[in-house]
Structure 1
Amino acid sequence: MKEFEDRFSELQADMISICMEYVEDRADKVYVYASCEEGMISGKFFYLINNQYVKCHKVNDALENGEERYDMSPERMFKVLQIIGEDIEEIEILCKEYERDMPTEMKLIYDANSGKFQAEYKYDLVHTNDDIKTADDFADEWFEEIKNNNL
């Protein structure tokens, strides 16, 4: 049992870690949205930097004068998303191996200042049952919810 929990935690920590690396550990909070439904895997990430909520391609917008800009090359962003996707796949394999339910949706929040980590999971189909919205739409909605409620 312990092995499952440890491995599951490691994979979540890896997602957070690669997102922190993307901003050179210069973010107050990192948010990772991970979705895995009906064979479709999707991930998105965004940040709280200098009291501004920004999506991963807008991180430089949150910088104050004189702060060193982030390297936001498409290659780096793609690599982060690729690693998040691989971690989600690994979690799926892990859940099958231990005969556990695979979360269809994971919302991970890491507070870099306090070191506090929180996660929220759903096990019901989220976007598969929606005729219009994709996993990306749900990730964008979460971003707006976080931004509007300052979470």
Structure 2
Amino acid sequence: MKLILTREVAGLGLAGDIVEVADGYGRNFLVPRGAAILWSKGAEKQIVQIKRSRDAREIRDLGHAREIKTDLEKLSVSLDARAGKDGRLFGSVTAADVASAVKDAGGPTLDRKRIQIDGHIKTTGTHTVTVDLHPDVVASVPVTVTAAG
């Protein structure tokens, strides 16, 4: 089965790539989850648009990734969350919350899929999250979680 990937799939390819996969994998996994669309001549025209949006989010090269790493590690990222008296959060902090907090702190727009949170952030205080910027560059970002209100 020939498909066009609409987002990055580990071990298969990046958004905009045309891939050949087993029928069941494509029909039962990739297409229903929105990770791919069926290939056709008409759909092939969408590849340009998919690649353009991927390039806008993509980090250009190793040097660019290192610049972003130094910028991220200088940031003071704080996040307000609802918490009880003992400092335990009602819920947990997600990668999307961290990406939003980094943007609010004056940092770059990050893809939430690149943010790795060790375990779950379920308490107030300072926690360290990692951001995979490039295969060779990983940034550690301290995030301070405070009780809202």
Whether the TM-score (by the shorter chain) exceeds 0.5 is no
The structure in which a higher percent of residues are helix is: 1
TM-score under structure 1 length normalisation:
0.24
The structure in which a higher percent of residues are strand is: 2
